[in-house]
Amino acid sequence: MAWKRAIIHNAGADFDAGAPAAMDCPEPAYPLRPARPLNALGWFSAARDNALSIWHRGAYVETLMQRRLPGRDLLVVNSPSAARQILVEHAARYTKSRDTRRALCPLLGESLLVSEGELWRQQRRLIAPVLTSRSRLAGYAEVMVATLTEVLDRWGENGEAELEMTQESTRLAAEVVSRALFSFPLGPHADTIFHAFVRYQDTLGRLDVLGLLGLPDWVPRPGERAAGAAVAQMERVVEAILADYRRRSEPRGDFVDLLMGSAELGGAVAAPRRIRDEFMLALLAGHETTANALCWSFYLLSLCPSARQRLEEEVDRELAGRTPGLADLEALAYTRAVVEEALRLYPPIYQFTREAVELDQIGARRVAPGSLLVISPWLLQRHHRFWKDPDAFHPERFLGPLSRRHRLCHLPFGAGPRGCPGAGFARTELTLALAMAAQRYRLHLRPGHRVEPLGRLTLRPRQGLPMRLERR
């Protein structure tokens, strides 16, 4: 089961992106990297605990790696040209993998993130414009600013207290997405979402070793009962949102009205389950990636005083104490660069898996139908051939224009037809959140706290991020 090297002849020449990090910025945390590839037992054990810890040092310079699994090949595609081939140019030759579906279906059903074929195309046509329309984004930005103001006021109520930023970021992001898409204030439901999703990630969010070994879906998986209880808790939040919708006296033109009035979600029997699935996706995917990126951004700024100072200077200069809006984002270039660098170092969705449904070829490597392919933003975005000082926090690398190949090494929201339609929503919220927080506070990581990025369904800090609030 050892990894084998493969060659992609069109990987392209090495290139640098960025410059050395500031001297006051210690290297941000990442899991221990074994010197050599792990054996089969070590690989499965490590992946079950933390999917990031399977990558040995050589994985950060290779462009294609392969293992033989029972009945199929596993290929890790680790170059921008091959990633583009799978996600963009030959996207029709690949589907979401069975492993991905097995992890997500109990939670998200046949929602946009999971579905395939004509159902997926119907959902994409319906949902994407709600998230990408410029006029809607302007309205969402107003909701974001109002919610951020409330949350930041609450942070300061107890003076310079310590906050657990993974939970605080989740409360913030979940509240934003619920108010923006559902016109529904979550309040205490946000904590329900946080704890239930942590429980789900600790159970079905781990690597499914039995599936990789070829066992069928009907074989029980560890943690299924606990995961089911977590899903039931999150479904009760969806029911609260639907109950609020049923009490409405008139339409509000939000995501709820769109879904409930859509013929594309099926007939009388199909519609309730379809609506449940899309609500769960909007609520969970709409906040989880943003919450993770936000808490990692606060962590990185706490490590690097010079970056924090530059961000504060930009915010003070461009906003002059006023509340930002969508029109201000262009001027907040360094703030946006911090967001992109946080997404590079800690991509919330740290890997995508695809299953080949047609014969394909990647470089010199034949890809047979049924092969499992992994594209890991965690690897690509820290690849030593494609980034200068890849493990360093250096927002300046995102201040200039990105080359085409460089863009394909930066995939926090995927690419191609299945790229995340909420990327603009997330980037807008992250930029506004960092700018508004920097106007009021500095956040300092608790001295001595050990930070470990943990790869389950998403990328979170294993032991959380306790941070002390300091007023500016």
Residue 18: what pLDDT? 53
The class of domain 4-471 in CATH terms is mainly alpha
pLDDT at 402 over 70: no
Backbone angles phi, psi at 360, to 5 degrees: -145, 175
pTM of the model: 0.93
pLDDT at 428 over 60: yes
> pLDDT tens digit string along 182-203?
999 999 999 999 999 999 999 9
Per domain, the residue ranges of the chain are 4-471
Mean pLDDT of the chain: 90
Q: How far is CA 181 from CA 50, 258, 259, 352, in A?
A: 33, 10, 11, 26
Task: Name the nearest CA neighbour of 148 among 173, 125, 128.
Answer: 173
> pLDDT tens digit string along 104-160?
999 999 999 999 999 999 899 989 999 998 889 999 999 999 999 999 999 999 888
Q: Distance between CA atoms of 229 and 250, rounded to whole angstroms?
A: 34
Task: Name the nearest CA neighbour of 144 among 440, 421, 427.
Answer: 427
Residue 461: what pLDDT? 97
Q: Distance between CA atoms of 108 and 413, rounded to whole angstroms?
A: 18
Cα angle: 271, vertex 276, 277; to 5 degrees: 100
Helix or strand holding residue 202 (H, E): helix 189-203
Q: What is the DSSP string of 415-430?
A: -GGGS-TTHHHHHHHH
pLDDT at 14 over 60: no
pLDDT at 13 over 70: no
Q: How many residues does the chain have?
A: 472
Q: Distance between CA atoms of 331 and 204, rounded to whole angstroms?
A: 42
Q: Distance between CA atoms of 107 and 350, rounded to whole angstroms?
A: 19
Residue 404: what pLDDT? 57
> pLDDT tens digit string along 279-317?
999 999 989 999 999 999 999 999 999 999 999 999 999
- Mean pLDDT value across residues 233-237: 95
pLDDT at 2 over 60: no
Residue 207: what pLDDT? 83
Task: Name the nearest CA neighbour of 321 among 436, 152, 153.
Answer: 436
Task: Name the nearest CA neighbour of 345 among 50, 60, 28.
Answer: 28
Residue 337: what pLDDT? 96
Residue 263: what pLDDT? 52
pLDDT at 267 over 60: no
**Confidence band for 367, pLDDT divided at 50, 70 and 90:** very high
